[in-house]
Structure 1
């Protein structure tokens, strides 16, 4: 279905019944990222999958404001209001994890349990954020100039996704074909306005989070393992699970383990 919020059409899919579970994909992804987990999660949950602004079948407007991470979080609140959901479990991967964390800070009473897969609270210093904004703007301009196809060729070969070279040909082709469906304007503006250089840094506020929170990383993703370790030090209530032989996208590389970990966490935290 499509839900219009502030004149922007968002693609949303809902499955099953029970306690809501909102799933937020990563940069260049869409709601189909979670398709294989429907049979697992819908046993106990009403699954809500959406295409984040600038991705998939959701609109890619020219204005900058709707892509800002706080605005995107407020749009999710309005989507949930439309679906008559007053609180939800929330799972976000990478960019979706940063958006999920932002939502949890703005609407703490709406988040029952939080799962952050390979996510960060942002960059700690203004200097780091400034440098990242420059890099993201350059990459955004590259997408607009060269097109999605050339960008995807570049993106799927960055070190962060090196462990995905081990995936089967079918899985790799499926991921690639989904990425190619994205709108260049949507990707460019998402980078510029929702990237770690533009979003607020939540590091100093991590201790405020009261909802049960699971940090999920792959042991082969050294950068995000380090980030998760630092996050856990900021809030003793954070649980951290580090998955063997997995990189950044645990849900892609180890889907069965991922589904089991998330289901058990949500079940134990209910």
Structure 2
């Protein structure tokens, strides 16, 4: 389904019945990240699955401001309004987790439950954010100069995704094909507008969240395990689950277990 939000046309997949669930994919992903979970989660939730701007079939914008975290959060709230959905559960993975947290902080009255998979509230200091913006700018230039295939080669080789090397070849091929289906311009603008260095730090806002929060991390993803441990101390109603034997992309590496954990929490 195509939904116009503030002048930008979003691609949104819908499945299932029940209380609305907004699943948000990670960088280089798209709505197909979550459609395999429709048979499971669709039994208890109505899934509203967008292609986040810069990804999938959602319209590209030349305006970098349309990729900023707060602007995308506003777009998604507008889409929910168009669909006459008042309150939701949100699930966000990595970049999508940062976006989910942004929505929960800016629109707390719209959130029932929040699930963050391998996600962070951003970087604490402005110095860290400046350094990250520089790195993301370099990555955007790399995409511009070398093309999306060279970038995906680089992206798949970063240590964050090393545990995915053990996945079956057909699965890795599908993930690669999906990543390559994105546009160079979309990924460049996403890096510059929605990168960790470009977003506000939400660390000091975590204590304001009153909804139930589930943090999920993979045992091999030590960085995000440390972040989740720290986040749990700030959140009022948070639980944290560590999944053994996997890294950053838990929903891929341990699909059935992840699906059950989400269903149980919701």
TM-score w.r.t. the length of structure 1 is 0.97
Q: Secondary structure at the match of 1:91?
A: strand
Q: Secondary structure at the match of 2:3?
A: strand
Quote the residue 2:141 is aligned against.
141
Residue 77 (structure 1) shift: 0.4
Query: What aligned pairs does 1:30-45 form with structure 2 within 5 A after superposition?
Result: 30-45=30-45
Quote the residue 2:26 is aligned against.
26
The reply on whether 1:170 has 2:160 as its aligned counterpart is: no
For 1:110 and 1:35, locate their aligned partners in 2 and report how far apart those are by CA, in whole Å: 23
The reply on whether 1:99 has 2:86 as its aligned counterpart is: no
Q: Secondary structure at the match of 2:119?
A: coil
Q: Secondary structure at the match of 2:34?
A: helix
For 1:47 and 1:204, locate their aligned partners in 2 and report how far apart those are by CA, in whole Å: 30
Paired residues of 2:210 and 2:236 also in contact (CA < 8 A): no
Gaps of 5+ in 1: none
Query: What aligned pairs does 1:29-68 form with structure 2 within 5 A after superposition?
Result: 29-68=29-68
Residue 145 (structure 1) shift: 1.4
Residue 216 (structure 1) shift: 0.4
Quote the residue 2:189 is aligned against.
189
For 1:50 and 1:6, locate their aligned partners in 2 and report how far apart those are by CA, in whole Å: 15
Quote the residue 2:122 is aligned against.
122
Question: Number of residue pairs matched?
Answer: 266
Query: What aligned pairs does 1:187-226 form with structure 2 within 5 A after superposition?
Result: 187-226=187-226
Residue 233 (structure 1) shift: 0.9
TM-score w.r.t. the length of structure 2 is 0.99
Gaps of 5+ in 2: none
- Moved beyond 4 Å, runs of 4+: none
Q: Secondary structure at the match of 2:197?
A: coil
Residue 236 (structure 1) shift: 4.0
The reply on whether 1:230 has 2:191 as its aligned counterpart is: no
Q: Secondary structure at the match of 2:138?
A: helix
Residue 205 (structure 1) shift: 1.1
Residue 192 (structure 1) shift: 0.8
Q: Deviations over 1:55-82 (max 9, x none)?
A: 0001121111110000000000000011
Quote the residue 2:14 is aligned against.
14
For 2:183 and 2:107, locate their aligned partners in 1 and report how far apart those are by CA, in whole Å: 29
Residue 222 (structure 1) shift: 0.2
Quote the residue 1:85 is aligned against.
85
